[in-house]
Amino acid sequence: MNGALDVRTLPSSPGGRKSAEWWGVAVLVVIEGMVFIALIVSYFHLKGRNPSWPPAGIEAPHIPLATANTLLLVASLLPIWLATRALRNQSERTTKIALASGIGLLAVFLGIKLYEYITLPYGPLTHAYGSVVFTMSGLHMAHVFAVLVKSSVVLTYVHQGRVDPDRRAALDSNALYWYFVVAVWLPLYGAIYWSPHLF
């Protein structure tokens, strides 16, 4: 024995709603969804209590870059969907390419968000506006980073043969969380970037 893992000895791990892992992530999504709802409510509560929002001297957020970045994040849904579909169809190569492509899109999204952060003329401790904006987008960035790391682990497992059509719970649960992270960004994007321009 050279200590190498024989993937044939791994137990089967059905994906989707047949997996305990999928249900665990589903419960986590519900809990974290409530956190993001509370943050959005806090944002609009603070907006309603301040006559100038953003505060005087702070320009309303620039929409074009944030919109392009949002479209990039939404586009990342296609590779993860393709990866799960390809795995079910026993196309390991397509699964690897699609998953790696999605990871790349997430990395670019994070890079653009970091660029936005370092170019902002305020910080999280400057005022209430800075605090709530950094908390909302920062928490979301942490979730994107978590999906990026988890997806990288799943991709490694696919390369090792630990994830296949009979053992796909890791990929399916990761996809569910990925969908959530993209979906929850849309109301955050609307609140942070569009609401100061609309009302």
pLDDT the model gives residue 22: 86
Dist CA 109 CA 96 (whole Å): 20
Instruction: Please name each of the domains of the chain with its CATH number.
Output: 63-194 (1.20.120.80)
Q: How confident is the model at residue 115 (pLDDT cuts 50, 70, 90)?
A: very high
Q: How confident is the model at residue 1 (pLDDT cuts 50, 70, 90)?
A: very low
| Tally of CB atoms within 10 A around 114 | 11
pLDDT the model gives residue 21: 85
pLDDT the model gives residue 16: 64
Q: Specify whether the CB–CB gap between 176 and 17 falls below 8 A.
A: no
DSSP label at residue 76: T
| Tally of CB atoms within 10 A around 104 | 13
Q: What is the mean pLDDT of residues 4-11?
A: 52
Report CA 44 to chain centroid distance, whole Å. 23
Interval 163-184: pLDDT, tens:
888 888 889 999 999 999 999 9
Between 110 and 13, where is the model more confident? 110
Q: What is the mean pLDDT of residues 35-64?
A: 93
Counting residues of the chain whose pLDDT is more than 90, the rounded percentage is 72
Task: Residue 68: name the closest of 132, 29, 115 by CA.
Answer: 115
Q: What is the mean pLDDT of residues 111-136?
A: 94
Q: Does the pLDDT of residue 124 top 80, yes or no? A: yes
DSSP label at residue 60: P
Report CA 89 to chain centroid distance, whole Å. 25
Interval 80-110: pLDDT, tens:
999 999 998 989 999 999 999 999 999 999 9
Q: Which residues contact 130 (CB under 8 A, 6 or more apart)?
A: 120, 122, 123, 124
DSSP label at residue 127: -
